[in-house]
Amino acid sequence: MNGNSHSKHRGPLFAVIVLIAALMGLYFAFRKTTNSPAPKAGSNIEAPSAASSQPTSSAPVLTSKIATPAKTSATIAPSGPKTEKQLADELLDCSGWHGAITAEQAEKFKQNLAELINRGAASVPAIRALLDKNMDSNFNQVPGGDQLGYASLRASLFDALKQIGGPEAQAVMAQALQTSALPGEVLQLAQNLDQQAPGQYREQILNAARETLALAATNTNTNGVGEVDRQPAQRVLQNYSGDNTPEEIAKNYPEKFADAVSLANQPDGQGLPDLIKMSQDPSGGSKNLATEMIAQMAGNNEQAMDTLVQWAQKGQIPNATLVQLAPILAGTGEFQPGKTEPTDLATTADIINQRLPLIDKLLSAVEPNSSADHALRAQRDILTARLK
């Protein structure tokens, strides 16, 4: 009974053992096939395609934190943008210091300048540093310089500052205005500053023009400053000297001054039409000088006085010019032919009594409490004090 029972249980157990053995055989057979050695050179087994191969050791090493596919050296981007100082320094390198300017240098110059302008106020310190080197290149004298579109390196930097704009750029231009000895630069800087901040830098502009003209007169061979180069500085005085004194005009434009004084002293007011025509000249020097000479005629010519009053009522005479008219109208600062210094003619009661009504007429036409109003009243006080 016991033997029969044991034989009943061996059948199923034997079947399980056989199944396990078969499964293990299949497992080892699979391992053998997957771990077979790599094919040797010259074997008939194909190598992996180029598209699936790994990069070789000569491939560039990417240091970016963001994983990106490897690129060939021809397509790798620059390591980073140039600093403003690098861009400015390269402008100097491309400015013809080492000979003719090539097309490649010209293109690089334009790109660097445009990039400096695009970066705005951040570029101003680098431009200031380059200007402080006080180095320049006259592109008109450098072969290939006509490709750059500017007369000189400094002219290109001034234009960049103008396009950048803002107080930082204006401060650099104002500094350059004070140190420049070239009339052409003074004119360019004056135009840039007055366009960005009308009237704000007027005194600095006029002082720079006067100093440049003085340098041109005493040292005509310094930095190429000569008789021809005086013209830009003279234009500055003409355009920005709204209150330019007759003495300054006599010094800087002696022939023009002499002609105006001669017209004012012609008998019977014959020179008035020419002075009125001169006053319509858009350049500041001629316009203001003619207006002052008409004021000088007003002491003896009613039409000249009426012209002044009408212009003042219509706001056609700048306030600063009206200030200059006060001593001329009062007779304490008239100009005589052959003289460049004003003469005080209000020395008798008759002349003073003749001038007081003229001052009152112009006072009625100017804005109350303005600088012109104060200047005219001051001259009136001087005249009335002389009558006592």
Q: Is the domain of 349 the same as that of 365?
A: yes
Tell me the β-bridge partners of 152: 138
Domains in the chain: how many in total?
2
Q: Is the domain of 98 the same as that of 224?
A: yes
Q: Is the domain of 153 the same as that of 262?
A: no
Phi and psi, residue 134, nearest 5°: 55, 40
DSSP-derived secondary structure letter, 364: T
Phi and psi, residue 343, nearest 5°: -115, 140
> Is residue 231 a part of any domain in this protein?
yes
Q: Is the domain of 89 the same as that of 236?
A: yes
Q: Is the domain of 222 the same as that of 334?
A: no
Q: What is the DSSP string of 252-281?
A: H-HHHHHHHHHHHTSGGGTTHHHHHHHHT-
Q: Is the domain of 131 the same as that of 109?
A: yes
Residue ending a domain, choose from 222, 247, 272? 247
Range of the domain at 377: 254-387
Q: Is the domain of 216 the same as that of 268?
A: no
> Is residue 185 a part of any domain in this protein?
yes
pLDDT, position 77: 38
Q: Is the domain of 160 the same as that of 209?
A: yes
pLDDT, position 352: 95
Q: Is the domain of 232 the same as that of 259?
A: no
Residue pLDDT tens, the chain, 388 long: 444 444 444 455 555 555 566 656 655 554 544 444 444 333 333 333 333 333 333 322 222 222 233 333 333 334 568 899 999 989 988 887 677 888 999 999 999 999 999 999 999 999 999 999 888 888 888 898 889 889 889 999 999 999 999 999 999 999 999 888 888 899 999 989 988 887 788 878 888 887 887 776 655 444 444 444 677 877 787 667 654 566 667 776 788 888 888 999 899 899 999 999 988 875 545 777 889 899 999 988 999 999 999 999 998 887 767 888 889 999 988 888 888 788 899 999 999 999 999 999 999 999 888 878 888 998 999 999 999 8
**Amino acid at position 66, single letter:** I
Q: Residue 358 corresponds to which tokens in the numbers above? A: 């003229």
Q: Is the domain of 323 the same as that of 224?
A: no
Q: Is the domain of 190 the same as that of 270?
A: no
- Report pTM: 0.46
Q: What is the DSSP string of 30-45?
A: HHHHHTPPPPPTT-SS
Q: Is the domain of 217 the same as that of 260?
A: no
> Is residue 154 a part of any domain in this protein?
yes
> Is residue 158 a part of any domain in this protein?
yes
> Is residue 58 a part of any domain in this protein?
no
pLDDT, position 273: 94
Rounded CA separation 350/198 (Å): 44
pLDDT, position 244: 57
Query: Long-range contacts of range 224-233, CB-CB < 8 Å, 24 or more positions apart?
Result: 224/182, 225/181, 225/182, 225/183, 229/182, 229/183, 229/184, 230/183, 231/183, 232/183, 232/184, 232/186, 232/187, 233/183, 233/186, 233/187, 233/209
pLDDT, position 57: 31
Residue ending a domain, choose from 247, 262, 290? 247
Number of neighbouring beta carbons within 10 Å of residue 275: 24
Residue ending a domain, choose from 232, 247, 262? 247
Within 13 Å, how many C-alpha atoms sit on residue 234's CB side?
16
